[in-house]
């Protein structure tokens, strides 16, 4: 598509045939206006608004953010994740400083909120429906595409700065499950399972540990909240996607110990663990049962 920023041709008005006779298509603005909204900008999905900034006005808190998913409307009863603090939308102002009744995916909005003090709101928090609050996690399993590293290697224990939606903080690489490295001379790719380290321009699957639980989504569920970058010493060293996570607010917990009068063995609840493969919480296997099974398999 031909355009000229200097003369403005084919940006708002179509280019004249005498200038460009081979092009008869739409202008730049017409193409941009008609671009479809992607699947990760679903207006009917659960609401997600990462907090970018905040201020106080007339004893009410105002939250600045971008609607990444869902639709926010006047009167909506929301929660501020990760602490699930209840709040309600009193007013919505768009990026043109106009008061509106709702905000859709892609809209930058200012929300006047009730029930929340300014010191309870932090950059990186996410507004979500109160009835279905977001899951938070301290351990993420992610696919990384490494760029040029600041240090010679990227290994377990490496620390760097993660930028995911509006949240930014130091994180720790807990494990590298596999890495695919390309030979710079031959271009041949080699996959290594559980390597101790990997190098620049590799692709790898890692587990990342956070300092505190953060609201997060799988990239398949909400791209804007599932993509991130890793930075080191002011330079971007990796592009990442969240594939799975371990919820920090587990739905199932062991029950407290029963009293002596009601202590049948069958009433006791076994410890539970979160299975990353199935995405479900399940009872932890007994160690003796595992040993017996291995012995039977050996026979």
Judged on CB neighbours under 10 Å (0-12, 13-18, 19+), 157 is exposed
278 within a domain of the structure (yes/no): no
Q: List the structure tokens of 13.
A: 């008005």
One domain, residues 58 and 158: no
One domain, residues 71 and 142: no
DSSP type of residue 3: -
44 within a domain of the structure (yes/no): no
Q: List the structure tokens of 14.
A: 């179509």
299 within a domain of the structure (yes/no): no
262 within a domain of the structure (yes/no): no
Q: Of 129, 160, 182, which residue sits at a domain end?
A: 129
- Check which CATH number belongs to the domain holding 89 and give it: 2.40.30.10
One domain, residues 150 and 191: yes
Domain count, the chain: 3
The number of residues in the chain equals: 299
One domain, residues 186 and 171: yes
pTM: 0.73
5 within a domain of the structure (yes/no): yes
Per-residue pLDDT of the chain (299 residues; tens, 9 = 90+): 888 888 888 999 998 888 888 988 899 999 988 887 665 578 899 999 999 999 998 889 999 999 999 999 999 999 999 999 999 999 999 999 999 999 999 999 999 999 999 999 999 999 999 999 999 999 999 999 999 998 989 999 999 999 999 999 999 999 999 999 988 888 889 999 999 999 999 999 999 999 999 999 999 999 999 999 999 999 999 999 999 999 985 443 333 333 333 333 333 344 555 555 555 556 655 544 443 334 444 44
Over the range 103-129, which residues count as b (16 or more CB within 10 Å of their CB) and which as e? Answer: bebebebbbbbeebeeeebeebbbbbb
Q: List the structure tokens of 103.
A: 């905000």
3 state DSSP class of 288? helix
Q: What is the DSSP string of 208-223?
A: EEEEEEEE---TTT-H
Q: Of 77, 109, 129, which residue sits at a domain end?
A: 129
pLDDT at 277: 57
- Tokens 């009872």 belong to residue: 283
Domain that holds residue 20: 1-35
């Amino acid at each position: 598509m031909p355009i000229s920023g200097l003369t403005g041709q084919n940006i708002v008005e179509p280019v004249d045939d005498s200038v460009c006779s081979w092009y008869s298509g739409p202008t730049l603005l017409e193409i941009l206006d008609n671009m479809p909204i992607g699947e990760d900008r679903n207006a009917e999905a659960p609401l997600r608004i990462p907090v970018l900034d905040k201020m106080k006005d007339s004893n009410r808190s105002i939250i600045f953010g971008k609607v990444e998913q869902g639709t926010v409307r006047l009167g909506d009863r929301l929660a501020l994740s990760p602490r699930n603090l209840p709040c309600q939308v009193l007013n919505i102002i768009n990026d043109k400083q106009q008061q509106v009744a709702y905000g859709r995916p892609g809209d930058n909005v200012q929300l006047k909120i009730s029930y929340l003090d300014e010191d309870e709101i932090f950059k990186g928090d996410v507004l979500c429906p109160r009835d279905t609050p977001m899951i938070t996690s301290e351990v993420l399993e992610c696919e990384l595409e490494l760029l040029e590293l600041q240090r010679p290697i990227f290994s377990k224990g490496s620390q760097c700065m993660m930028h995911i939606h509006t949240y930014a903080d130091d994180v720790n690489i807990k494990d590298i499950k596999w890495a695919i490295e390309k030979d710079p001379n031959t271009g041949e790719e080699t996959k290594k399972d559980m390597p101790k380290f990997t190098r620049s321009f590799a692709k790898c699957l890692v587990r990342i540990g956070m300092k505190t639980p953060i609201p997060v989504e799988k990239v398949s569920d909400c791209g804007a909240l599932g993509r991130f970058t890793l930075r080191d010493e002011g330079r971007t060293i990796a592009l990442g996607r969240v594939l799975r996570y371990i919820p920090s607010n587990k739905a199932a917990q062991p029950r407290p110990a029963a009293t002596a009068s009601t202590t049948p063995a069958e009433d006791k609840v076994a410890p539970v663990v979160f299975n990353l493969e199935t995405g479900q919480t399940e009872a932890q296997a007994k160690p003796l049962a595992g040993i017996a099974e291995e012995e039977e398999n050996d026979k």
